[in-house]
Structure 1
């Protein structure tokens, strides 16, 4: 390995900069040149890149987002765009590539790997929706952001004796709502993995009201319904004033947590190490306290297992 490229694609996630920094510095430590590809796979298609050095990644470990930029590229998916990307990789002299992002990014990495490009994938997405890894880069920072919002909304909800429905991100994965619901003491979580029963939600709210609780928090995963519609249903059934909040892109931003900085740094270094050891077309993941790797194709073929234990615990602790 003489030159390694690194890119971030798809939705940004806190901790991506920590991973970029580790790729650059671990690479330079091992006498490898590092090139940053701007704006994800679109940058590969357009040949938009920058040579990186130690100063390129100074003071970025604590910053959210990604200094390389991120974008989705329909052109890369097409045959003409994909061939342009392959030509640019060759033109730039990239011997191996590190991609940081979610399932779409890993699929792009798999396509490059099948075309002969040595590639390593790092799972960077707040959704935590990649089935092969316990946690993804950015997930815990997003949880912290959601919990901060829950506490603030709880204050005003309690003051006015209201129910609040808080919609969080995650696409078709309910992990942000589920874990934030457990950590934040929500009365109910509504997630795509479990069929929504609005009567059960309302019963739980009324049970709380009967024992003197003035307010209720319901956490809703975006893939399980619309916050406005559900809040209107709750108010109609219970007669309790119900408001809703959609947290949106605030969940992607902010200073990365210590955990996301830690695994981002570990994964970035590990990605370069694997490329140097000629272990190609792998993806990194987290199990317990360990960083592991496996074949990208195998990782993408796995089915996600729903964390029913945590869901049931959330219901038990919210009685």
Structure 2
């Protein structure tokens, strides 16, 4: 793991260099500063291997470009870097022409005035992502391939260690399940799916998120008292703003994380205000203000 993340100027220069070839980043490309970013190294299956880091960098870039914060340039910037709607293998000139067309700019204006700012925005997103991994205290444990069946000796200490691992596995399974459910809701909202389909997904997300919180409360109270359940559950992703009482009501409906989706729904029957707060929070946000992007 790197001890110091690259400075902003180095990241901007590396993103500019990356643009020439486009995505995906090939192993051996001259993007060393990007491979040193904390967010890239933390996601690599083998942080000491440049090929593994390159694969992680490709994943980070795809994710950031898929969630580009400026609505007007979200699709053009993806095309500029070689992601759909750009066809694979297009050179920079062709990608730039497509991006300019999608953004509604003349190509020369786009190259001189818009493209440099888009590069800076991508670099800023990478640096922001890296900041989240500077203190990687909350990372899912790596799982080694077992050599065979793992035997547990009949001993109180061994039983306690196994129990802690059980709860740790349940915790991370619940966090990832909650993340998948929350992403599903956001994807359906982006697709402008039907109200009922989004509503069903939102209910599933509430169940998964509440279960994750129940598991986090159990784990931090019994096995990791130095960790915060709020910080652990936050890893699942954004959720609508709820009161403390509403959060507690959701968690109670999971029956300690054991409730099925149907049991969870039945327990919360008639909680209209809570349902409105959760489901209403997933309404599409207003468009990003694009003023000031073009100098």
- TM-score of the two chains, using structure 2 as the length reference: 0.25
Larger proportion of helix:
2
> Which protein shows a greater Rg?
2
Larger proportion of strand:
1
Structure with bigger RCO (C-alpha 8 Å, 6+ apart): 1
- TM-score of the two chains, using structure 1 as the length reference: 0.23
